[in-house]
Amino acid sequence: GLCQLLRHDLPARFGADLDTLVNAAESLIDQIKFQKDLTRAERRELIVEIGLIDTLDVLRDVMEFYRRLPLARDKTIETAPGSRSIALRTDRSLLLRCLGNLLKNALEASRPGDCVVVGCRALRPEGTSETWARFSVHSAAALSEAVRMQIFKRAFTTKGDGRGLGAYSVKLFVENYLGGRVWFESTAERGTTFFIDIPCLSELPT
């Protein structure tokens, strides 16, 4: 809050430094909230708050947040062509956290100049009458076979000690609390795409 007040009161020449400070504070707060949610989820104490959301609004919010962070410097984040607005009943905060963790992982795996593509579309699984929302996060980097085998394990990481909760937490939140599923595809030719599938009550768009 003090950072926000300073942004309005200090001379313009401090603008860039204050923006960096505000973004760092927001990132720290987000990590604290994530750790609290993860602890509650593992204890089966996490409370899910279901509401009606618009999938494109969620994508825009998560993309805007990560575009401001140093992690995205020299990289771009774009919306996948054909992404659609879908009415979805789910926990918005939890979905944002899951998409954010996947986007963060994709940015960390990307090189300067790379583009991370985030999308959403409606689908109807074969043999069912249910409509699902499918979110995707794509990066150009491919996962090694060793990483693919362990990506959803708790505390597995290629980034050093104290990491390795991102993909694990996404699977935990989505499959245990949002009623969906998480999976990925990764090849040297096409890069890596993580998917989050969540059932919804709306009909397929016409």
Query: Could you list the mean pLDDT of each consecutive 10-residue stretch along the chain, which spans 206 residues?
Result: 70 67 72 80 88 94 90 95 92 93 94 97 81 95 88 66 68 93 94 94 43
Residue 70 Cα distances to 31, 94, 125, 157, 164, angstroms: 15, 23, 38, 21, 20
DSSP strand E in 58-180: where?
76-79, 87-90, 115-123, 131-139
What is the helix (H) or strand (E) element at residue 168, kind and residue range?
helix 166-177
Sign of CA dihedral 90, 93, 96, 97: negative
Q: Please give the structure tokens belonging to residue 16.
A: 């860039």
pLDDT attached to residue 201? 57
pLDDT attached to residue 140? 95
CB 111, CB 74: distance < 8 Å: no
pLDDT attached to residue 202? 45
pLDDT attached to residue 204? 39
pLDDT attached to residue 151? 87
